[in-house]
Amino acid sequence: MLSWSRWGAKQSGHGHVNPKSPEQVKALFKRRGYRYDANATLVLRKCASFPYLRTGILAFTRVQPSTGESAILKP
């Protein structure tokens, strides 16, 4: 699970250095061996108490090791 500032959203301003659209984040994680989990995302968003988390949370499941990952990204 992670929260990402959305490009063009109110929270993509000061202090958010790498805003992305949800589609961009999903593509980044897919290339790294993760699958977007729509059901978990929905549950987490419904439980979120902060408005920005209700729209910014994305949940992923690791499905396969990716090729070309840097050492920093390896578990």
* Domain of residue 58, residue span: 2-65
Residue 34, in any domain of the structure: yes
Residue 74, in any domain of the structure: no
Residue 45, in any domain of the structure: yes
| Rounded Cα distance, 16 and 8, in Å | 11
Residue 75, in any domain of the structure: no
2-3/34-36 β-pairing: unpaired
pTM given for the model: 0.71
Give me the pLDDT at residue 43, please.
96
| Rounded Cα distance, 59 and 61, in Å | 7
State yes or no: pLDDT of 68 exceeds 90. no
**Averaged pLDDT, 29-33:** 91
Residue 48, in any domain of the structure: yes
Q: Over pLDDT 90: what percentage of the chain?
A: 41
State yes or no: pLDDT of 74 exceeds 60. no
How many folded domains does the chain comprise? 1
State yes or no: pLDDT of 52 exceeds 70. yes
Q: Identify the helix (H) or strand (E) that includes residue 27.
A: helix 22-31
Residue 70, in any domain of the structure: no
The DSSP 8-state label assigned to residue 3 in this structure reads E
